Each structure stands twice: as structure tokens, then as C-alpha cells.
Homo-oligomer: A and B are copies of this chain.
Amino acid sequence: MVRARAEADRETERRPSLVDDAYAAMKQAIRDSSFAPGYQASEQEIALRLGMSRTPVHEAAIRLQEDGLVRVLPRRGILICALAPDDMREIYDVIVAIEGRAAELIAASPEERRMAVADELADRTDAMEAAWTEQDLRSWGEADERFHRALVEGAGNGRMIRIIQTINDQSHRARMFTLKLRRELGASVEEHRRIVACIRAGDAAGAMESARAHRLRARDTLLPLLDSFGLKHL
């Protein structure tokens, strides 16, 4: 219970309220497509399914709307947002900007901290390579996600972390979809290693540039892929 106590001290013991439950449940449902994009649900219906009244569902919907995952249509219900290719372009630009700066900040930090982050990033990359040789797509995707999360968390900027988290929630479904299509996963490992090397060397400009180049290349292989499938929304 040490962990619980620590959180209690930090957060004045916030045990999960019904609103938190509703928020988590709805977000999860959107992530795994139980609520498909374009689906329009009534708050009443969701409330019934979750065994609570409309109030907490409504308040959770407000938070989800703020996250860009749903739209609350007055007197018509909750609409699950779809992602158009243009949204993916926007999302990649935000990622390029934030991860680039994060890599730069890490590379410019004191050696001890830099090395600690680099070690973690290297571990994630090793996991990716292992998954790649075993053709284990699921593991590869998880390791890749962890690499990028560690990259942003390594910069120690809570606002950047939150921005990326929001963006990830929005693009999770697209990521799951494209994971199966990509044929150039191998290149990512090498690019990750270059980022790590720059961080170790304290080369801030190089770290930023490799992080940016990595995401820009991924974007340029993925967007045409989505377009070729004629996906108007996902």
C-alpha cells in the first residue's frame, strides 16, 4: 500500500469517483472500438450500462469532449469522433514539434540524467528489435509506444506529457490499424538508436533532428498508406 499512500499524500486521497469510472470506461470503449467512430450514444443508455445515473456520464462526456474524443451534441447525445487523414497530418505535426524539443532537452541535460534516459530508451529499442526478429507485431507496437513515451517523459515537462497523451488517445485506433500495414518497421530501430546515440553524446541539435526525421519519415510512409485505402475516417 506504499504506492496508495504516496498518491494519497500528493493528491489528498482522491479515490475514484463515479465520474472517473465513467470517464475511464468510455475512453477504453472508444480505444478498443466498442464505441465505433460515428456512433451516437445516449447518455441514458451509457448510464444504464455502467449502472449509474446520467450525471456522472454527462460530466465524463464533457471531459472526453475536451480531449477531442467525442462531441456532445445538445439534446442529441454523444457522438464518437472520427479521424480524417487531415487529422493525422495535424497530429504528426504536433508530435514532431514536441518530441523534437523533448529529445533536444534530454540531450542538453546533465550527463547523469541523460544517460539514465538513454539507457531506458535503449532497452525499449532492444525490445523492438527482438519483437521484429520474431515477427511479433503486438510486442513491437508496445515497445515502440514505450520508447516514445519514455522520450517525452524524459524531458520532465508535465505539459508536454499531457499533450502527447491526449494526442495518443486520439490516434490510438489509427495506430492499431496501420501497425498491420507497415512494412518498414525495421528502419525504426535504427532511427531510434541514432536518437539514443545523440542523447548519450549530449548532441542536442542532433537529437532533435533525428527525433524529427524519425517521425517525419513515419508520417510520410503512413499517410499515403491511409490515403491508398481511401479511408475517409477511422
Residue numbers of A with Cβ under 8 A of B are 12, 14, 17, 58-59, 62-63, 66-68, 73-74, 90-91, 93-94, 96-98, 100-102, 105, 155, 157-160, 163, 167
Contact = CB atoms under 8 A, between A and B. Distances in A.
B94 A14 contact: no
A58 B63 CA distance: 12
8 closest Cβ contacts across the A-B interface?
A97-B101, A66-B66, A97-B97, A90-B159, A90-B157, A97-B98, A94-B159, A93-B157
15 contacts: A12-B73, A12-B74, A58-B59, A59-B59, A66-B67, A90-B157, A90-B158, A93-B155, A93-B157, A93-B159, A93-B160, A94-B101, A97-B100, A100-B101, A163-B163
- The prevalent SS among residues of A at the interface is helix
A105 B90 contact: no
B157 A94 contact: yes
Given A59-B59, A62-B59, A74-B17, A160 B94 contact: yes
A63 B59 CA distance: 9
Contact of A62 (B62, B105, B158): B62
Contacts of A59: 58-59, 62
A113 to B, nearest CB: 15
A203 B8 CA distance: 51
A90 B160 contact: yes
A91 B96 CA distance: 17
Contacts of A12: 73-74
A151 to B, nearest CB: 13
Contacts of A155: 93
Nearest to A159: B90
Contacts of A14: 74
Greatest chain B CB density within 10 A among A14, A94, A97, A167 is at A97
Contact of A97 (B63, B67, B73, B160): B160
A91 B67 CA distance: 19
Contact of A93 (B58, B93, B105): B105
Contacts of A102: 97
Nearest to A17: B74
A66 B68 CA distance: 12
